[in-house]
Amino acid sequence: MEDVDHLAHERSKAQFDVEEMKIVWAGSRHAFEVTDRMSRLVASDPIFRKDNRTLLPRKELFKNTLRKAAHAWKRIIELRLTEEEASKLRFFADEPNFTELHWGMFVPFIKGQGTDEQQKKWLPLAYKMQIIGCYAQTELGHGSNVQGLETTATFDPLTDEFVIHSPTLASSKWWPGGLGKVSTHAVVFARLIITDDRDYGVHGFIVQLRSLDDHLPLPGITVGDIGNKFGSGAYNTMDNGLLRFDNVRIPRDQMLMRISQVTREGKYVQSNVPRQLVYGTMVYVRQTIVADASCALARAVCIATRYSAVRRQFGSQNGGVETQVIDYKTQQNRLFPLLASAYAFRFVGEWLKWLYTDVTQRLQAKDFSTLPEAHACTAGLKSLTTTVTADSIEECRKLCGGHGYLSCSGLPELFAVYIPACTYEGDNVVLLLQVARFLMKTVSQLPSGMKPVGTTAYLGRVEDLMQCHSTVKKAEDWLNPSVVLEVFEARATRLSVACAQNLSKFAKQEEGFLELAADLVEAAVAHCQLIVVSKFIEKLQEDIPGKGVKEQLQTLCYVYALNLLHKHLGDFVATGCITPKQASLANDQLRSLYSQVRPNAVALVDSFNYTDHYLSSILGRYDGNVYPKLYEEAWKDPLNESVVPDGYHEYIRPLLKQQLRNARL
Amino acid sequence: MEDVDHLAHERSKAQFDVEEMKIVWAGSRHAFEVTDRMSRLVASDPIFRKDNRTLLPRKELFKNTLRKAAHAWKRIIELRLTEEEASKLRFFADEPNFTELHWGMFVPFIKGQGTDEQQKKWLPLAYKMQIIGCYAQTELGHGSNVQGLETTATFDPLTDEFVIHSPTLASSKWWPGGLGKVSTHAVVFARLIITDDRDYGVHGFIVQLRSLDDHLPLPGITVGDIGNKFGSGAYNTMDNGLLRFDNVRIPRDQMLMRISQVTREGKYVQSNVPRQLVYGTMVYVRQTIVADASCALARAVCIATRYSAVRRQFGSQNGGVETQVIDYKTQQNRLFPLLASAYAFRFVGEWLKWLYTDVTQRLQAKDFSTLPEAHACTAGLKSLTTTVTADSIEECRKLCGGHGYLSCSGLPELFAVYIPACTYEGDNVVLLLQVARFLMKTVSQLPSGMKPVGTTAYLGRVEDLMQCHSTVKKAEDWLNPSVVLEVFEARATRLSVACAQNLSKFAKQEEGFLELAADLVEAAVAHCQLIVVSKFIEKLQEDIPGKGVKEQLQTLCYVYALNLLHKHLGDFVATGCITPKQASLANDQLRSLYSQVRPNAVALVDSFNYTDHYLSSILGRYDGNVYPKLYEEAWKDPLNESVVPDGYHEYIRPLLKQQLRNARL
């Protein structure tokens, strides 16, 4: 019974080679092999079980996370895993914990901003986890505006030390992951003040927080967890922390000095290392966020797609079986664009990896010419993909109807654990405003003959794009990459140019930026969507092996683009890129594309190659055996430990027996 | 210190009489007085505290809910509260529990579908809570499609009983609130089968589930809780339940027989009571859902607005204070339309109350003419308001930045506890399709001279509305109710007519409905938004006392309408209702409306008259004293009970000391 595949019929309908699609999704045969092996390793290890996570009270939950983190590290050492394998293992262990910040922020920052000497001293300790580090930037009163941080680091020339201090309550460090209960060290961001009382702005310092002997906070340091967060389980496995300094002294050589130094004499000196290096790190971090977005979105889509094939509702005739909900156009219209987005984000994420390599090479050659464009592009894509992913996880939950609301659907926890991505590493709206600023600058420089580069190159054809009209005459005309690309380019151009024109009406440009912020955000979104569409189209120009694989991806690419066109119809029609008639033809085409996706839907989510362990969703089970497992799961709830609930005698019985009046509640 | 009002300056800027606006919001001076008194009563009673709710494990959480429910009932009796007062008290106790279903579903269904005799027998028991009832309709495999339910009630003429049975696992009752652990009785929906084996469809039966002596399930009954749900705290205070029947016998007179009966001889008889009465109950229940939507939305908006006035970020010059985030246009553009929606939903909810009274009176007079329209209208408004409210709560959370992710912001729990409203009492998409069907029917009857009634009356002017062009020439022209109303009517008409035309191209209409479902949903949304806009405009034609009160509401009405116009720009422009130029003027006008809302924003949310207890949000505190209270709250987390966390010795220390290899984890 256990081995029946309730979705076998769905799988048999697929018109493409699923194994080849798995390779495309993973990025390469090698990446597939590593990912596959690590996901199975985690899934088969009982210590990594997650099934009771949403039921544990915070302390037990957290202790169990510490256990998993230690176990993961143990396995990494025992099996001598490569860095790539280790990071996949942590990914599939699928539980936020201190090691993320240690490896993802503490180590990279020392590498990026520490001198050679500093790296020599600290990195070996960090690599062996003899110290555990976190990244303490945001404060209770200060988030997006890094330049507004209040913590101070004052140089004391008498002792050759910095004095780290929290001058106000609002300056308490707040949110850093791993800080609350685990980290022994932190990279702390503070305003550098030198003896002449001059403020040199925000710099990073390595500060030891806890004793390596007994884990107690060092003198002058107050540290703790900031409390419960969204959801059950979810991000509550992480000890996001608060931190206050009462004149804590650290040696001068614990300021990260690769870019600027303070000398023994208290002189502030800039090194000859370009400051732009900082942006390289940002491009790296944001590229990983885009990759994670595609994984999280794929996970939600996988659950919703499989369950939509299992679930039946309405449409039965004479007591026969009902219709699978995935056959309803309303379901397809909501679900398939998300499936297409998962693939779209995957490919744009892959391209960002290339961009990071490119930027790094250029930086090493001191070529900074593409950096602003690369920075705007990654900022925009981080914002776009995380916003869409967060909203789509919730949409997938709704697509699962009532049962999506049960913890065991996996979707509530996935949502709760994912959404911080919209805020960390740059609030999504703030990032879009940065993109808009870059676009406005690019547009303003066009008349002077400046040639826009990379993802903004299309703006070089501004005159054409301001005037072009789509040539679409029938629905199938939309199945043409250059037709699609042109309308997206035209829309992005026209929104940017309109913003630039409106901005020019303001006496002070800054005032215009504030007043027109909402329009600027829309222009930035249009630009970012164009990037995703164009990278999907570029991907399809590659040689993609496997029966039917490329055809499926083509279909998904058009679903992605035409759905966006429908969603942002106002932009396209109001700017004259397309006529209402063409919009309606696009819609007709979209519907017939859905029919093409339908028989392949389950196979397209199988191609993500997710284990049931990783999905942790009864609705998304590979075998589709949903109802018996839901029923089984229900009985595990602590409320079902007794037939008559705790509290019956105190509260229910007196109520039923009309004896409440005298009861002491 | 505690008494400083950090928002006093904001409050002093208000340009209207807040006390009068409170009356408008409450609906009447009487409603305000009752609401105010009950909310304070709950807020001042320590048993109703909610501050540790998100930290409790399920069993403790549930037990505490039982305690609150019993206490609420005790207070209701002691204080001899009226029904209105009692329901407000339960509302402000703000915790889902079994009494909701008892009062909201069990009692109304017996009232609506029980015979006089049945009412005489069961209602007194229910009114005194000597029995506790729930509403058992949905099954594990069956939700929206009530006609697909599988549970059977077979008449046994030998014993004059019905045999209630669950023939399959998928037929297990699943989701009913209050069923899992508390209810002694249920209204159970099952397929009626009479001796001749004929299936008479789904009917309601009163079934006792648990012994009134010891609360144990009666023979043949398996009952339990369905397990953990979205979020911490949230809906986990409710014992949503599962229920299986193994040939459970009940007396014949426990079938609810007001509309149809089974006689002693096993004959199925229809009574002369009109079946349409059922729709009356539906209109009632959905009207309360719309009212609740406005309250939940207002709660989220209140939190986000106050915190946006407290929070500062960027824009400081020379180290001065930063800009309040509520001053940013991006924040206003996201927040103020939600504020406007809260008021809009409030007024349309008020109007629905009137509609229910009207429908009830007509039903009593056997006038069924307005019933289909009233049914479509309430279905559509239920769908629209709950969808918008759910999305807006999450948007408000995002508007609070990182701190919105903390449980103590109140927003995560509000979201988790609210979202079931999108699914229960009719899935929101299924409901919109019902509305669309009604619209298509109305449009198809127009040529025959049939005059559409109520909220569809505008379709009677189809010829004008298909051709009209908006006359707007400058931004201020949009500040005209008839101009706004006309474009919303024209858009709704054109979308409906376009759907009808496309449907007519299909040989089989049902096929067309399936194929064009996504377009039909959009037409239904346009119709529902028109209703909300038009009822807001109607409200403004009333006499509204109080300095500046009407002016504020006018501003909010235009914000609501013009924001929708921008969001659905494609509809308006593609159907030729407005030109791109007019759309751009609407946008300019919207920006200047935001500037008018800005100084009044805090006062407009104060007008909801919510206590800090009800809001249960540190970010939304009336006094704006956010940071010190966040800091205080953090230390209450169980993780902070010890400086060195549980698990340090087992998992962190061995890791730091490189002794993992030999550790047993």
Task: Tell me what pLDDT residue B1 has.
Answer: 45
Q: Do A128 and B587 lie within an 8 Å CB cutoff?
A: no
With CB atoms and an 8 Å threshold, state whether B405 touches A419: yes
Q: Is any Cβ of chain B less than 8 angstroms from the Cβ of A218?
A: no
Calculate mean pLDDT across residues B565-584.
97
Q: Which of B350, B425, B486, B489 is catalytic?
A: B425
Q: B313 vs A143: CB contact, 8 Å cut-off?
A: yes
Please identify which residue in the block is written with the tokens 């995957």.
A346
- Segment holding B500, helix H or strand E: helix B481-503
Q: Residue A598 and residue A601: Cα distance in Å, rounded?
A: 5
Give the model's pLDDT for residue A382: 98
Burial B183-221 (b: 16+ CB within 10 A, else e): bbbbbbbbbbbbeeeeeeebbbbbbbbbeeeebebeeeb
The DSSP element (H or E) to which B190 belongs, if any, is strand B185-193
The model's confidence at residue A363, banded by pLDDT at 50, 70 and 90, is: confident
The nearest CA of chain A is from the CA of B647 a distance in Å of 5
Beta bridge pairs of residue B155: B162
A641 at B interface, C-beta within 8 A: yes
Q: A196-214: per-residue pLDDT in tens?
A: 678 899 999 999 999 999 9
Does B412 contact A at CB distance below 8 Å?
A: yes
Cβ-defined contact of A652 to B78 (cutoff 8 Å):
no
Mutate to test the interface with A, among B145, B175, B199, B232 (most CBs of A within 10 A): B232
Cα distances (angstroms) measured from residue A215 to each of A223, A418, B397, B659: 12, 30, 35, 16
Six-digit token string for A527:
């630009």
Highest mean pLDDT among A27-36, A363-372, B265-274: A27-36
- To the question of whether residue B54 is assigned a binding role by annotation, the answer is no
The minimum CA-CA distance between A529 and chain B, rounded to whole Å, is 18
pLDDT in tens, B168-181: 999 999 999 999 99
Domain ranges of chain A: 111-272
Q: Over 70: is that where the pLDDT of B318 sits?
A: no
What is the average pLDDT across A156-180? 97
* pLDDT above 70 as % of chain A: 99
Cβ-defined contact of A70 to B433 (cutoff 8 Å): no
Which B residues, 342 through 371, put their C-beta within 8 Å of a C-beta on chain A?
none
Whole-number average pLDDT of chain B: 95
Q: What is the residue-averaged pLDDT of chain A?
A: 95
Residue pair A330/B433 in contact by the 8 Å Cβ criterion: yes
In order, the DSSP letters of B430-465 are HHHHHHHHHHHHHHHHGGGTPPP-GGGGGGGGHHHH
Mean pLDDT of A377-406: 97
CB atoms within 10 A of CB B77: 15
Is B20 catalytic? The answer is no
Nearest CA in chain B to A76: B661
Q: A395 touching B, CB under 8 A?
A: no
Q: What is the pLDDT of residues A300-319, one digit of tens each?
A: 999 999 999 999 998 876 66
Q: Distances from the Cα of B16 to the Cαs of A420, B548, B551, B599, B601, in angstroms?
A: 38, 4, 8, 10, 11
* Tokens standing for residue B89: 């008290």
pLDDT higher than 80, residue A195: no
The pLDDT confidence band at residue B2, using thresholds 50, 70 and 90, is low
- Tell me: is residue A138 an annotated ligand-binding position: yes
- What band does B151 get if pLDDT is binned at 50, 70 and 90? very high
Whether residue A1 has pLDDT greater than 50 = no
* A329·B517 Cβ contact <8 A: yes
Entry field: residues in chain A: 665
pLDDT, tens digit, 9 for 90 and up, residues B186-229: 999 999 999 767 889 999 999 999 999 999 999 999 999 999 99
Q: Which pair of structure tokens corresponds to residue B339?
A: 């504020």
CB contact under 8 A, A569 and B574: yes
| Disruptive mutation site among A652, A653, A659 for chain B (greatest number of B CBs within 10 Å) | A652
Span B253-280, average pLDDT: 89
Average pLDDT over residues B659-664: 80
Catalytic residue ranges of A: 425
Rounded to a whole number, what is the distance in Å from the CA of A357 to chain B's nearest CA? 31
> Which residue in the set B62, B518, B631 is minimally distant from A333, CB to CB?
B518
- Give CA separation, B655 vs A77, A182, A215, B65, B512, in Å: 11, 11, 13, 42, 64
Q: How many angstroms separate the CA atoms of A580 and A565, rounded?
A: 12
CB contact under 8 Å between B570 and A575, yes or no, is no
B122 pLDDT band (50/70/90 cuts)?
Answer: very high
Q: Give the C-alpha separation, B301 to B617, whole Å.
A: 12
Tokens representing A526 are 């249009």
Work out the average pLDDT over A284-305: 96
DSSP-assigned states of every residue in B217-263: BPTTEEEEE---BSTTTGGGGS--EEEEESSEEEEGGGB--SSEEE-
CB contact under 8 A, A313 and B145: yes
Q: Tell whether B659 is within 8 A of chain A (Cβ).
A: no
| Pairwise CA distance, residues A23 & A29, whole Å | 5
Residue burial A360-371, b: 16+ Cβ < 10 Å; e: rest = eebbeeeeeebb
Question: Which positions 316-345 of B are in contact with A (Cβ < 8 Å)?
Answer: 316, 322, 328-330, 333
Q: How far apart are CA B7 and CA B15, in angstroms?
A: 15
Q: What is the pLDDT of residue B22?
A: 98
The pLDDT of residue B252 is 98
B219 touches chain A (CB under 8 A): no
Give A111-272's CATH code, choosing from 3.40.395.10, 2.40.110.10, 1.10.132.50, 1.20.1440.230: 2.40.110.10
Overall pTM surpassing 0.90 (yes/no): yes
In the numeric block, the tokens 């976190």 are attached to A134
B201 in contact with chain A, both atoms CB, cutoff 8 A: no
SS3 of B529-594: the string is HHHHHHHHHHHHCCCCCCCCHHHHHHHHHHHHHHHHHHHCHHHHHHCCCCCHHHHHHHHHHHHHHH
Question: What mean pLDDT do residues B496-516 have?
Answer: 96
Torsion (CA) B387, B393, B395, B396 in degrees, nearest 10: 150
User: For A104, phi and psi rounded to 5 degrees?
Assistant: -90, -25
Handedness of CA B64, B70, B74, B76 (dihedral sign): positive
> Which tens digit of pLDDT belongs to each residue from A68-107?
999 999 999 999 999 999 999 999 999 999 999 999 999 9
